Structure 1
Amino acid sequence: MADTRSAAWDTYSQSKPQRRATNAKGETTWFNWTQHADHGPGAEVLDAEPGSRVLDLGCGSGGNLAHMATLGMRAVGVDLSPAQLGKARQRWDDVGGMELHQSEALAFLADSPVSFDAVYSVFGAAYFTDPGLMLPAVHSRLAPGGVFAMSQHPAVDGCYGCQASYIPRGPDEDPAVVKRWDYPPETWASMFKGYGFEDVTAVVLPAPATGKRRIGTLLIRGARQG
């Protein structure tokens, strides 16, 4: 199953260009929780200070992780896709403080010998892993007072629980299928609290006022007791 999902995300990687050289503010690295360019909150959501150890679950091509490294964090990224990690190494080869691993998120969390001051997932592994497994695994690896935050598409009304996502693989092949988990904000908040997170928030960030894309972004955040 892991090989099938890895191949699916390798295919996805081929369809995505590298991150822009600069954003609208002229910054060469930046943090973006949403699917909309230059929109929404940034790394401040994680309450992480320079020197903090942070973990990106499903780091993809590494844009957010590179930004955390430039802020002085010990930035660790894990992704299932060798192609995505290859793009991260190529794009951010001049950024120090980044550590990349190819692994399933749950396996990495189970095997990690260290705790993290912040864990995050931006349309990443936390979106595509059963929260009944992911949330306790993340909680166990957070340092006291540490923050976990994740973002993804809001659920379609009435379409809750495990859903199918389809990744195109070209005109001659059926799409790859991966699972994702969708719930309304109040359900996510309840699940976070049920697995020991405190100060939980779950909100849908609206889409920018301009532009044709109108789907917002669900952002969930919680902290381990200090």
Structure 2
Amino acid sequence: MILNPEAQKRAQQEIESVIGCNRLPTFADRESLPYVEAILKETLRWQPAAPIPLPYRCSESVEYEGYFIPKDATIIANSWHISRDENLHRDPESFIPERFLVPPTFRFDAEDAGTPLDPTTYVFGYGRRKCPGIHFADSMLWFTIVTLLATTRILPAKDSDGKDILPRVEYTGGLVRELLPTPYHFEPLSATHAAIVSDLVTSI
């Protein structure tokens, strides 16, 4: 959100128009917040946490789209490549939630009318071995994103000269990546939002 302030602003305007400023969003609001949903999908696509999922073993010999895959072959999917496939996602290195709106509100050129591939079909794994916690993870990601956007501005930290410290998109290695620490600043959207968050923390 620091690197894409216009996306943050648009999502906050959507949230305010749907639920106002006097309560937190709930799961009942999810279908009414398509831009927040698009931010979730674009976040999963833009920087998948597991670019290369666990290997699979082929349980029987099969032919798939002209390729013969023998029994016991090791299959390693490439979620990173899928997320960067320009036939599926134009300008893949850019963070563009609008590509996941229905219908998409972002066009790269007059011939670009395709629908991007939903990242939830590949970032959680594949087939019968897909992550069993996919629905829990999806719900918690959405709830975290919408709650932060509904209550705070996510801003860059400042250096000693008062200039913005913009985060670099850098991750740890390993099967599951984590974003390297980067400074940031949370600012309540208003005194009302600050009170809502304070009441929530007190109740917990």
Q: TM-score range by the shorter chain?
A: under 0.3
Structure with more of its chain in strand, by fraction:
1
Could you state the TM-score of these two structures normalised by the residue count of structure 1? 0.23
Please say which structure displays the higher CA radius of gyration: 2
Could you state the TM-score of these two structures normalised by the residue count of structure 2? 0.25
Structure with more of its chain in helix, by fraction:
2
- Relative contact order, CA 8 A, sep 6+: which one is greater? 2
